Structure 1
Amino acid sequence: MKSISVAIEAQGAPSVMKLSNVDIGLPKEGEVLIRQSVIGVNYMDIYQRSGYYPMNLPSGIGLEASGIIESIGAGVNFLTEGDRVVYSGGPPGSYADVRNVLASRVVRIPENIEDEQAAAIFLKGTTAEYLLERAYPISAGQTVLFHAAAGGVGLIAGQWGKAIGARMIGVAGGPKKCALAKEHGYTEVIDRNNENVVARVKELTDGKGVPVVYDSVGKDTFEQSVECLSPRGYFMSFGTTSGSVPPIDAAMLQHKGSLYFTRPTLANYCASRDDLELSATRLFKMIANGDVKTKIGQRYKLSDVVKSHLDLEAGKTFGSSIL
């Protein structure tokens, strides 16, 4: 069987991604063959392509897609041919029209959710779930600071936190992105381009700071995030879009108020089938209840994959991007 897929032979700029026809075999034991309808584009794909994440080359790229199961490998007894499914994780290679996927990473899509919605939200939504429900479980009445509030994860997190009853403070760049974040659950949104983030957080919290900061930006916001925390606060570093955070100095954490720093990942929090199903169930329930809605800001053809990465890296996108 032929598959139209995107592969890289070297890591680097978006131009290293090449579209080609490749032969794929039948699914092996523990795999399913999926005819993909929609592919999610995520910042982790950029980490793979750019070299931030080491990879064995040549390699496919991408971690998330939705579609229909066409064939099932041996040992898979919890999925059937014809199932409408979504997945994230496993070996990279989701930028394709058809591919074999580890069945352990695949879940059925509920009837009330469309393929496009599923592919746009699954990886980002399960990320929001583990961050807000498990890595640092927020509660009603708490004040939370979330960077990149108008991004794919940020828009979901704002709605999720609001549903829990937390007071969500977002940080975004520019009036348009700030307005978008405000529409998606954030009580207040700080424009990082025109406001002093630390001073504004102190003002909004009567000088106390916040008990938790969720930061996917990294180097550029590290010091801000530290200064925004209240004593015994938690720094949740789950991305590095601006570059890696500096080495963590334990003495600094002590002097700043006995702070906690952690670098959680989706791979760890959804490593087991049970954890993946828990996260997916919580996400689908939030969608079914109307608490979380998907914002698809960009749609690209598979042949325009280079542009999708250029736009995402340049900060030109909002919400989710799909192929």
Structure 2
Amino acid sequence: MPHAIRFDEAGGPEVLRWESVDVGEPGRGEVRIRHQAVGLNFADTYFRSGLYPVPLPSGLGVEAAGVIEAVGDGVTHLAVGERVTYTGFLDTLGAYSTERLIPAAPLIRLPDAISCETAAAMTMRGLTAAYLLRRIHPFAQGDSILLHAAAGGVGLIVSQWAKLLGLNVIGTVSTEAKAAVARAHGCDHVVLYRQENVAQRVRELTDGKGVDVVFDSVGKDTFETSLDSLKRRGLMVCVGTASGPIPPFNPQLLAMKGSLYLTRPALADYIADPAEKAELAGELFGHVAAGRIRIEINQRYDLKDAAQAHRDLEGGKTTGSSVFMVSGD
């Protein structure tokens, strides 16, 4: 019997329930997929808490990988038995499930060298890293970046990819243990944000100039520090709000701190075009298959234990990627 994690009201991890569900047959443009692994992302907590409102009751999760079991009318580019992965937003919500129906459009066929477990751990994180480094800014060898949450799932991929591009990577982490993880994956310098003044340390490491780009997934708690770490006309990239939304501010602040640029991108807008999504996925898969980027799966959970996984994630107890195992790959 298929099962899924669902919730009837917004709230903490305790609202998540493990339920049996009916899946049915795919309609036009849909497929039925049997999941082998499901990704755990911080965005999942935003849906659960109500920060990203959705009609309730609802499923949860936007990233998974598995095997196609049935295809609906009009689906000609995918076949039963093929392994696929996906990520998205509302169009893929419901990934915390053993089986499901899903539109065929978001699905990406997996190369033989990429397992379903690896795909579930990296599709959202990897495509995020891909657009951040290949679309957001025209990086040149020797440019510097400040990367918050450098030991997290996105952080470890970004730091490895940044080194392939010849960038100088300064990462922030909370503990010495996470600092060791960040260094092992490409960070040239690691700042312990609970013990050091991040902006001051960044200036020291960049001869007073500041970094070209900041990738900030933390939000409220790091916003001004991130701005203070940028060089004149540097770029602030807000990619998440783990500590809460950034409070309203006067744009004059950007002028006062060096004519800074600020953007709040969303992955959905960088994979909306099928050709661009295929290009970014191809580059990502190529790096992973060749071993140039390692995907670190440091936490594995049973899908029914989603509430505990959310507690660990929100409590800062995880490093690298986390996945829910549904069946053997």
Q: TM-score, normalised by structure 1?
A: 0.98
SS in 1 for 2:94: coil
How far, CA to CA, are the matches of 1:303 and 1:317 in structure 2? Answer: 18
2:23 alignment partner in structure 1: 24
- Three-state SS of the structure 2 residue aligned to 1:62 is coil
Secondary structure of the 1:36 match is strand
Alpha-carbon distance between aligned partners in 2 of 1:29 and 1:273, rounded to the nearest angstrom: 19
Instruction: Please identify, of 304-313 and 83-92, the stretch whose mean Cα deviation from structure 2 is larger.
Output: 83-92
- Other-structure match for 2:327: none
The 5-angstrom pairing of residues 115-264 of structure 1 reads: 115-264=116-265
Contact residue 63 and residue 92 of structure 2 kept, 8 A:
no
Taking the aligned partners of 1:138 and 1:44, their CA distance within structure 2 comes to 27
CA contact (8 A) 2:239 2:265 kept: yes
Moved more, 282-291 or 53-62: 282-291
| Deviation for aligned residue 1:29 | 1.2
CA distance in 2, matches of 1:290, 1:249: 45
2:240 and 2:138 map into 1 onto residues whose CA distance is: 18
Q: Which moved more, 1:134-143 or 1:162-171?
A: 134-143
Mapped to 1, the partners of 2:165 and 2:291 lie a distance apart of 13
Distance 2:26 2:200 in 1: 55
1:131–1:137 CA contact under 8 A, matched in 2 = no
Partner Cα distance (1:132, 1:91) in 2: 24
CA contact (8 A) 1:105 1:276 kept: no
- Output the amino acid matched with 1:161: A
1:111 match: 112
| CA positional deviation for 1:244 | 0.7
- Larger relative contact order (Cα-Cα within 8 Å, sequence gap ≥ 6): 2
Q: How does 1:82-101 map to 2 (within 5 A)?
A: 82-89=81-88, 90-101=91-102
103 and 175 in structure 1: CA distance in 2 versus 1, 3 angstrom threshold: same
Give the Å deviation of 1:74: 1.2
Distance 2:29 2:166 in 1: 40
How many residue pairs get matched? 322
Amino acid of the structure 2 residue aligned with 1:8: F
Deviation at 1:109, TM superposition (A): 1.0
Structure 1 residue identity aligned to 2:42: Y
Which runs of 5 or more structure 2 residues have no equivalent in the other structure?
A: 325-329
Partner SS state of residue 57, structure 1: coil
- For residues 300-311 of structure 1, what are the structure 2 equivalents within 5 Å? 300-311=301-312
Cα shift readout 1:200-232 (whole Å, capped 9, x = no counterpart)? 100000000011100000000001000000110
SS of 1:104 mapped into structure 2: coil
Give the whole-Å Cα distance in 1 for the aligned partners of 2:272 and 2:190.
33
Equivalent residues of 1:40, 1:65 under 8 A apart: yes
Distance apart, 1:310 and its partner CA: 0.3
